[in-house]
Amino acid sequence: MHGFTEETRALGEEILRYAAERLALDPVPLDGTTTVEALDAVAAGAINAKGRGGIDALRLFEEHLALACLSTDHPRYLSFIPCAPTREAAMFDLVVGASSIYAGSWLEGAGAVYAENQALRWIADLAGLPETAGGSFVQGGTIGNLSALVTARATARERAAEGVRPYRIAATVGAHSSIATACRVMDAEQVSVPVNDRLQLTGDNLRAVLEEHGPETFFAVVATSGSTNFGVIDELDSIAEVCEEFGIWFHVDGAYGGAGLAAPSVRGKYTGVERCDSFIVDPHKWLFAPFDCCALLYREPSLARVAHTQHASYLDVLTDAPDWNPTDYSVGLTRRARGLPFWFSLVANGTDAYTEAIEQTLEITRFAEQEVTRREYLEVVREADLSVLVFRRRGWEPADYHAWSDGLLAREEGFVVPTSHDGETLARFAIVNPRTTREDILALLDSMA
Ligand SMILES: *Cc1c(COP(=O)(O)O)cnc(C)c1O
């Protein structure tokens, strides 16, 4: 099965045909979800001893399995955080797959690592981080946050006075669930900081919490630059001030919202991000890269190397070299060159196209906000900072929101699941797809009348 035959060539053509046709679809079908029983009926026993051939395997995927997966790039997929890759990024993912690149080390993947670092540099420049900043692309924001926090703790413990072992993280309740996950993995404690009336973490509230619990017990503060539920950007500047005052690591989670750094209309909201010790943004969210891709950046990458480099006799040839090995900056060893599709698209399209595409989604969000405000039966819950809009349908019980959402999906008209805040079920649009139009928004809002 490692040979290249006429049959392999034919399969290659089929695979490329399938991929090209999927990328050309406009609109893409939303497709739907299904049950194990339904898939058993068509795909049970797909793996057998003799194999059924690539063409047959592709057909199984194309005709059955793919239809049971939602298209996250559908213009009315507005749940969670969607993923709308550029055509260039999606296509280049095929190239990465075909290239057998090990991108954990410079020795093995210099060309890929160089290119990934260029893409990281673009993000570091947007954030205003120094020339010496660096990191790597990891699987997602969860691993990015965990890796940054592991580095924060190692650094804090190294610097702490004798007998002091910082074990706490300060964050708001609006911080992403992956922060709580990181705490569980690390056996650390998350202390919640109250938010202001705009749902933001502020320096003043942070200082009060640090003083109450003892600042020396904290190894990191996590601010969010674009919370997942509301798109709230914390008061980064005043938080940075307090972190500097107490000498605590300042991590900014921009997994979703970090992309807004490239949009002039909202850039001012991020003031202070340049003072962070670590920063993440998921290009698979609002920077139009395919899953899965998180950019993880450190102000001082050497601190991450101390925390993360794996040492073993069989790795000495890599770890003894002075090279930039992406694997040294995060949890994990083997890595796909997952930043390459993003890099390719940046090179191909230019960064202005990114700014335009992000601004376009912000404009659609502002339009949606106006339309919600205009309609008697709807009400904005919190003015949108970025491209997430949370609103209320007056008179609806939780069951009404769910029935509306289920109906949209069943008719393949949209995927818009409800969220909740302070115990109240609410509607939420997360708009990161430049193909989401005003007509899409109007149709969804009309369906709630
Ligand atoms: C999505 C998200 C994460 C987690 O990222 P994954 O890529 O899903 O692991 C972390 N923080 C924020 C703010 C997010 O929106």
Helices (H), 74-176: 87-98, 106-127, 141-159
Taking the centre of ligand 1 as the mean of its atom positions, its distance from the CA of residue 441, in whole angstroms, is 25
pLDDT at 288: 98
Tokens representing 359 are 């601004």
DSSP code, position 382: E
Triad 243, 248, 249: Cα angle to 5°? 95
Low-confidence stretches of the chain (pLDDT beneath 50): none
pLDDT at 127: 98
d(CA 148, CA 226): 18
pLDDT at 318: 86
Taking the centre of ligand 1 as the mean of its atom positions, its distance from the CA of residue 52, in whole angstroms, is 38
194-214 exposure pattern, b = at least 16 Cβ within 10 A, e = fewer: ebeeebbbbbebbbebbeeee
In terms of pTM, does the model score above 0.95? yes
Q: How far is CA 281 from CA 108, 140, 181, 240, 292, in A?
A: 26, 9, 18, 18, 12
Taking CB atoms and a 6 Å cutoff, what residues make up the pocket around ligand 1? 81, 140-142, 145, 176, 178, 224, 228, 253, 255-256, 282, 294
**345 class by beta-carbon count within 10 Å (0-12 exposed, 13-18 middle, 19+ buried):** buried
Report which ligand 1 atom has the smallest distance to the Cα of 284. 7
Write out pLDDT tens, residues 313-356. 988 888 888 899 999 999 999 999 999 999 999 999 999 999 99
Nearest CA to ligand 1 atom 10: 141
